[in-house]
Amino acid sequence: MNNVYKITAVILAAGEGKRMYSKLPKVLHKICGVTMVEHVINCAKEIGCEEPVVVIGHGAEQVRETIKDVKFVMQEPQLGTGHAVMQAGEYIGDNDILVLYGDTPLVSADKISEMYQFHKAGNYGATVLTADLENPSGYGRIIRNHIGLIESIVEDKDADQEVKKVKEINSGMYFFKGTELKEALKKLTNNNAQGEYYLTDALQILKAEGHEIAAFKTNDPTEIMGVNNKLQLSEAAKIMQSRILKSHMLSGVTIIDANNTYVDKTVKIARDVTIYPGCILEGSTMIDEDCIIGPNTTIINSILNKNVTAKNSVILDNEIGESTTIGPFAYLRPGNVIGRNAKIGDFVEMKNSNFGDNSKASHLAYIGDADVGDNVNLGCGVVFVNYDGKKKYKSIVEDDCFVGCNVNLVAPITVKRGSYVAAGTTLTKDVPEDSLSIGRVRQENKEGWMKNK
C-alpha cells in the first residue's frame, strides 16, 4: 500500500495455546514454512507498519529468540484483550492503530489495506473487520444501526435467540484513531465475571463519546480464521498452500497436480518452471526459469539456476548451475556447489563438495569433501574416502580427469589435471598430471582349482 498515513500495528501474541498440546508457544507453530505470528507481522509490514509491536506472554523467550525486527511488550498476567493492548500504551499516540492477532495467519495485506482506506474515508473512531459465518456460534455478533454503523457487539453467551440469528461476527481485528484509543483504554474496567479488560468495551466507550464505529466486512471468512489446535493448523495450512500455488501458477509456473505439491511461502519460483506431483519445496529455495522438478523431489534452501532438471531426488542447501541434471534418486546433502551442464545421476550421494562444469557422476557414487574440476568423469562405484574414523579430509580431482569404476580415493589426495585412474584402483597418494594410475592386484587365474576342491 502506498501509505501516506502512519500506522502502528499491535499484534496480540501472549496466549498459552493449551489446545495445541505442545511445548512450542502457539504463535510459533508454522504454516507453509513461516510461523503464524510472522505471517501476521509480514501482513502489517506490507501495509506500512515498519516495526510492529508484539505483545508476548507465554513462551516469551522463545518468541523473542525467533522473531526479529519488531518491538516487544510483555503481558503478565494475561487479563484480556484490552489489557494486552494497554501494555503497548507507550507506542500508542497520534498514529492510527491496527490491532491484529498472532494466531490469525490467513489475514492478508490486501484486505487490511482495503479496510484501512475504508476507515480513513469515513473518518471513523474505530473500524471492525467482520465476516458472515454459516455457523457463528461462539463469536460476538455485529448489530448495525439503520445507517449500517455498529450499534453494539453482543457476545455469544449474552445473545438472545433473535441476536443469535445474526451471522455477521466480530473478528477482533480493528483500526483505531490512536489518540482516541489511548483515552478509551484509560477508562476500561474489569467489572465482569472473568475480571478481564475487553477491547470491545473500548468501542462502546468511543461510541458513547460520539465517535462512529464502522464494520468492514470481508467476503472471505478464511481471512479471519483463528488457529487454536492442530486440526485448525492443518486447515489453515491447506488454505495458505492453495493461495501460494495459485500465485505461482498465475505467475507462469506449471504445477501438474496442485493437490500433491507442497511449496513454502518463502520459496521463489520463476516462470516456465514445471513441477511434477509429489514435490516438496521449502525454506529459501530459489528456482530459475525453465527448470523441471520432480516427480517426488524434495528441495530445501537451495538455488537451482536456469534449465536444471531434478527427478526423484533430495537436494539440501545446494547451488546447482544451469542445464545440470540431477537424479533420479540422487541425495545432495548440504554444502555442494555444482557447475553448469553437469550430471549427478542415480544413487549418487554428495556432500560439502564442488563439482565443475560438464562433469559427470552418472551413478552409484559417493562424493564427500571434494573439489572436482571441469570435464571430469566419475565412473560407477567411485567413493571419496573422506573419513579416517576421527577426522575428515579433502580430495581434489582436477580438470579433464577420468576416474574409472570402483575407484576409492583415500583422502587427503589430489588427482592432477588430465589423468586417468583405472577401474578398481584404490588411490592413497597423489596422481601426477596426464598420468595413468593403476592400484590393484594383478589378476591371476588358477586353472582347475575348483576341480581339485
**29, 39, 248, 363: the active-site residue:** 363
Q: List the one residue out of 233, 228, 294 whose CA is nearest residue 260.
A: 294
Measured CA to CA, the distance from residue 103 to residue 27 in angstroms comes to 6
Give yes or no for a contact between 38 and 25, defined as CB atoms under 8 angstroms apart: no
- All cell numbers assigned to 200: 470491545
Residue with cell 544451469: 322
What is the model's pLDDT at position 157?
85
Q: List the one residue out of 140, 170, 148, 44 whose CA is nearest residue 97.
A: 44
- All cell numbers assigned to 54: 508484539
Give yes or no for a contact between 183 and 119, defined as CB atoms under 8 angstroms apart: no
What is the model's pLDDT at position 3?
47
- What's the predicted TM-score (pTM) here? 0.92
Expressed in angstroms, the distance from the first to the final Cα of the chain is 88
Structural domains of the chain sorted by starting position, each given as residue range(s) with its CATH number in brackets: 7-224 (3.90.550.10), 230-437 (2.160.10.10)
What is the model's pLDDT at position 5?
66
> 294: left (phi > 0), else alpha (psi -120 to 50), else beta?
left
Measured CA to CA, the distance from residue 387 to residue 152 in angstroms comes to 72
What is the model's pLDDT at position 177?
95
In the residue annotation, 363 being an active-site residue is answered as yes
Q: List the one residue out of 362, 369, 327, 320 whose CA is nearest residue 341.
A: 320
> Phi, psi at residue 334, to the nearest 5°?
-60, 150
Residue with cell 539456476: 305
What is the model's pLDDT at position 151?
94
How do the pLDDT tens digits run along the chain, 453 residues long?
544 568 999 999 999 889 999 999 999 999 999 999 999 999 999 999 988 999 999 999 999 999 999 999 999 999 999 999 999 999 999 999 999 999 999 999 999 999 999 999 999 999 999 999 999 988 999 999 999 999 999 988 888 999 999 999 999 999 999 999 999 999 999 988 788 999 999 999 999 999 999 999 999 999 999 999 999 999 999 999 999 999 999 999 999 999 999 999 999 999 999 999 999 999 999 999 999 999 999 999 999 999 999 999 999 999 999 999 999 999 999 999 999 999 999 999 999 999 999 999 999 999 999 999 999 999 999 999 999 999 999 999 999 999 999 999 999 999 999 999 999 999 999 999 999 999 988 888 989 888 887
Question: Crossing angle for the helix pair 178-186 and 199-208, nearest 10 degrees?
Answer: 110
